[in-house]
């Protein structure tokens, strides 16, 4: 990776983080790490700490064509593509401001703005959303907004999801997916003309309204070029005006792409520049300039193991989609993309697949919702990459354990750095658990969908520690949650240990242990969590420990709550003794939850919760909560979730 991204990535995305754990992946695919951090009482008790099982579905195989995940790209992979001396001079000249027309044909006549090819878009949009646009509404996460009532100038701010959809022109993919070109083109033209009328001139700098963020501008330029048959199918005057705006936007991006709001927005800007260089006349200098800039930006966006440094699965999907659409532009002009771009796509997919549950959808992490299997499958198919979920977890930070029909996901890293966070969440040491196609324990998720049916006022609450299945002290966040997706101080050090050891019954189990320092400055306590999943997936044992950070614990008491947000299909009822709950699933299976806490006055309750589904819509659910008081000298709280025969 680039020099700028290595220290952050190796530190788990926040400075001061200890290296997760030493050791290399064994040939059979098992990670064996030495323990770090304080050991809890009873650490050698096999009833408390079970060893770690192999991820059966993730084992290595010799099957040809499967890309091995977890590879770090060599530093040279993010260097500018190898070009001739003449092309290198052209790229340098274009970068210092010499017009592309002069470099392409210094003695010739300037060509008129025109497209050189038609792009075959391999990444389809949403048919339902496209049908809604034809009916006169933008459909965003279940919320309908009349097209005629949208202020395209940005003077009246829209909700963030709608704002991005409108100004990035991502809706063109949806429109293309729901109707033939001759039916969709008039609709696209009406919206395009309204947008052009509201944005007749390009601003002097980025950030002047939502239309002119670098991310939206780059995605908009690429959308216009990829879906040119929709936006250029009208009268000649409209085509001329649209082509002029495409050309002006490309020049504007040339000048301002280095001032993007974040790394993913910069990647979107570079992708737009390259697409224009490929598909507009006299674009060779712009393409050469864009390819060098894109590879530098990718080096700053992606960690050594392929996870984007924002740790957001939505950002991971957006980066893959940008590169897939850029590949489509190369193919339209019968060119091959730089090999490094293809390798980045190969690198991005394994971390994303590590967050897939048994129903084929994603877990709810860092503002994301439970993206549905159909949408994820379409992205994987368009990428053309065959790979396995990431197992050698470093910067991405999400541990994955597969045990028969059960899948456990564990957040074992600090939140992203403030400069990289888009919807940063205080989710350290939270987990999700699914069995078959049913999700048992989840996080609320969906902060990035706030503004659809999810009210915008819930955005910060959905990013809070209490919205995740982990422990909170005194209803405080382990990391501060700020406005506009920002992250403040809190967790900056996480240690994690993963092991596989045999159990007495001849089976094995997966043991994950992590701790973080998010509550040290306020309460003098380190949160340590141990999760033990049997290899048949029928039992998850957990223990949450609060360990004094100094030699002497502080005096007094503090309230605690350990939350287990339940999936939408789970029917829960408390046991008669008040120390457990029964969980019934639609497939007829029954799970039992039991608590064994030693905190003063601790109790198990069932409370209301919500979960944001695969389309970004809130669903009413419930949560199991272990809560009470504990001494600031520390304590430990055990629990078990077991499938009953």
| pLDDT 10s digits, 370-423 | 999 999 999 999 999 999 998 767 789 999 999 999 999 999 999 999 989 989
Within 73-201, where are the H helices?
85-95, 100-104, 127-134, 160-168, 171-178, 181-198
- Is the C-alpha dihedral spanning 262, 268, 271, 277 positive or negative? negative
pLDDT band at 111 (very low <50, low <70, confident <90, very high): low
End-to-end CA distance of the chain: 49
Beta bridge partners of 3: none
Beta bridge partners of 564: 624
Are 477 and 460 contacting, i.e. CB atoms less than 8 angstroms apart? Answer: no
At 172 the three-state DSSP class reads helix
Are 373 and 360 contacting, i.e. CB atoms less than 8 angstroms apart? Answer: yes
DSSP 195: H
236-287 per-position pLDDT tens digit: 889 999 999 999 999 999 999 999 999 999 999 999 999 999 999 888 899 9
- Residues 378, 391: Cα–Cα separation, whole Å: 23
At 432 the three-state DSSP class reads strand
391 or 44, greater pLDDT: 391
Q: How many CA atoms lie within 13 A of 36 on its CB side?
A: 18
- Residues 363, 354: Cα–Cα separation, whole Å: 9
Are 536 and 403 contacting, i.e. CB atoms less than 8 angstroms apart? Answer: yes
- Residues 231, 322: Cα–Cα separation, whole Å: 20
| Of 400, 395, 390, the residue nearest 415 (C-alpha) | 395
426-472 per-position pLDDT tens digit: 999 999 999 999 999 999 999 999 999 999 999 999 999 999 999 99
- Residues 92, 95: Cα–Cα separation, whole Å: 5
Element (H, E) at 410: strand 406-411
74 or 592, greater pLDDT: 592
331-340 per-position pLDDT tens digit: 999 999 999 9
At 215 the three-state DSSP class reads helix
Tell me, what's the pLDDT at 291? 94
Please state, as a whole number, how many other Cβ atoms lie within 10 Å of the Cβ of residue 489.
11
Q: Where are the domains of the chain?
A: 6-69+386-644, 120-284
Architecture of the domain delimited by 6-69+386-644: Distorted Sandwich (2.70)
- In this structure, of 412-421, 490-499, 543-552, the range with the lowest mean pLDDT score is 543-552
Instruction: Output the CA angle 372-378-381, nearest 5 degrees.
Output: 135
Element (H, E) at 565: strand 557-566
**Span 48-66, mean pLDDT?**
37
What is the value of pTM for the model shown? 0.86
pLDDT band at 66 (very low <50, low <70, confident <90, very high): low
Strands 525-534 and 590-597: unpaired
Strands 431-435 and 600-612: unpaired
Are 221 and 272 contacting, i.e. CB atoms less than 8 angstroms apart? Answer: yes
- Residues 553, 631: Cα–Cα separation, whole Å: 9
- Residues 464, 476: Cα–Cα separation, whole Å: 8
Tell me, what's the pLDDT at 110? 65
554-573 per-position pLDDT tens digit: 778 999 999 999 999 999 99
| Of 344, 354, 356, 360, the residue nearest 413 (C-alpha) | 354
Tell me, what's the pLDDT at 91? 65
Longest pairwise C-alpha distance within the chain: 89
Q: Is the pLDDT of residue 208 over 90?
A: no
| E strand segments, 80-150 | 137-140, 143-146
Q: Is the pLDDT of residue 543 over 80?
A: yes
| Of 526, 548, 560, the residue nearest 629 (C-alpha) | 560
- Residues 395, 316: Cα–Cα separation, whole Å: 14
- The dihedral over CA atoms of 308, 310, 314, 319, expressed in degrees to the nearest 10, equals -40
| Of 536, 529, 544, 543, the residue nearest 503 (C-alpha) | 536
Tell me, what's the pLDDT at 43? 35
pLDDT band at 61 (very low <50, low <70, confident <90, very high): very low
Please state, as a whole number, how many other Cβ atoms lie within 10 Å of the Cβ of residue 161.
20
Instruction: Output the CA angle 223-212-295, nearest 5 degrees.
Output: 60
- Residues 619, 612: Cα–Cα separation, whole Å: 6
State the chain's mean pLDDT as an integer: 85
Could you tell me how many residues make up the chain? 645
Tell me, what's the pLDDT at 412? 95
């Amino acid at each position: 990776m680039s020099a700028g991204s290595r220290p952050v990535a190796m530190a788990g995305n926040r400075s001061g983080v200890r290296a997760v754990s030493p050791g290399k992946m064994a040939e059979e695919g098992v990670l064996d790490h030495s323990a770090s951090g304080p050991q809890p009482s009873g650490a050698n008790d096999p009833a408390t700490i079970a060893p770690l099982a192999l991820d059966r579905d993730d084992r290595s195989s010799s099957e040809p064509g499967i890309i091995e995940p977890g590879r770090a790209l060599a530093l040279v992979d993010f260097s500018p593509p190898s070009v001739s001396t003449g092309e290198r001079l052209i790229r340098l000249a274009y970068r210092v401001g010499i017009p592309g027309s002069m470099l392409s044909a210094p003695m010739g006549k300037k060509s008129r703005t025109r497209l050189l090819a038609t792009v075959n878009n391999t990444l389809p949009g949403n048919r339902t959303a496209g049908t809604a646009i034809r009916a006169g509404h933008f459909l965003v996460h279940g919320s309908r907004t009349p097209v005629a009532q949208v202020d395209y100038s940005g003077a009246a701010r829209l909700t963030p999801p709608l704002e991005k959809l409108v100004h990035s022109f991502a809706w063109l993919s949806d429109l293309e997916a729901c109707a033939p070109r001759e039916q969709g083109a008039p609709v696209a033209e009406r919206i395009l003309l309204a947008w052009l009328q509201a944005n007749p001139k390009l601003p002097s700098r980025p950030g002047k309204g939502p239309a002119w963020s670098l991310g939206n501008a780059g995605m908009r330029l690429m959308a216009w070029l990829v879906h040119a048959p929709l936006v250029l199918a009208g009268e000649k005057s409209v085509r001329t005006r649209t082509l002029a705006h495409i050309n002006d936007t490309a020049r504007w991006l040339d000048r301002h792409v280095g001032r993007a709001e974040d790394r993913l927005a910069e990647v979107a800007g570079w992708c737009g520049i390259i697409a224009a260089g490929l598909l507009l006349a006299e674009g060779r200098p712009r393409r050469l300039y864009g390819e060098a800039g894109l590879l530098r930006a990718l080096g700053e966006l992606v960690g050594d193991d392929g996870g984007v440094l924002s740790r957001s699965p939505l950002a991971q999907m957006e980066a893959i989609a940008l590169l897939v659409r850029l590949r489509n532009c190369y193919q339209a002009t019968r060119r091959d993309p730089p090999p490094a771009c293809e390798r980045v796509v190969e690198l991005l997919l394994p971390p994303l697949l590590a967050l897939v549950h048994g129903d084929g959808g994603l877990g709810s992490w860092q503002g994301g919702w439970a993206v549905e299997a159909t949408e994820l499958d379409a992205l994987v198919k368009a990428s053309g990459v065959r790979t396995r979920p990431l197992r050698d977890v470093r910067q991405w930070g999400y541990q994955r354990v597969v045990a028969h029909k059960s899948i456990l996901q564990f957040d074992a890293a600090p939140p992203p750095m403030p400069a990289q966070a888009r919807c940063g969440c205080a989710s350290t040491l939270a987990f999700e658990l699914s069995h078959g196609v049913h999700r048992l324990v989840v996080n609320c998720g969906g902060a990035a969908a706030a503004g659809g049916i999810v009210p915008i006022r819930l955005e910060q609450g959905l990013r809070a520690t209490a919205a995740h299945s982990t422990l909170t002290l005194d209803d405080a966040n382990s990391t501060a949650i700020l406005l506009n997706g920002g992250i403040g101080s809190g967790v900056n050090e996480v240690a994690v240990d993963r092991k596989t050891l045999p159990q007495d019954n001849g089976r094995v189990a997966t043991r994950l242990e992590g701790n973080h320092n998010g509550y040290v400055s306020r309460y003098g306590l380190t949160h340590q969590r141990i999760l033990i999943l049997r290899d048949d997936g029928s039992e998850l044992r957990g223990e949450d420990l609060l360990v004094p950070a100094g030699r002497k614990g502080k005096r007094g008491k503090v309230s605690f709550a350990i939350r287990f947000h339940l999936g939408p299909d789970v029917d829960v009822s408390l046991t008669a003794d008040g120390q457990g709950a029964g969980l019934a699933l639609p497939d007829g299976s029954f799970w039992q939850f039991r608590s064994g806490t030693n905190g003063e006055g601790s109790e198990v309750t069932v409370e209301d919760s919500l979960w944001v589904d695969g389309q970004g819509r809130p669903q009413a659910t419930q949560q199991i909560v272990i809560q009470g008081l504990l001494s600031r000298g520390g304590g430990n709280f055990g629990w078990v979730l077991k499938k009953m025969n």
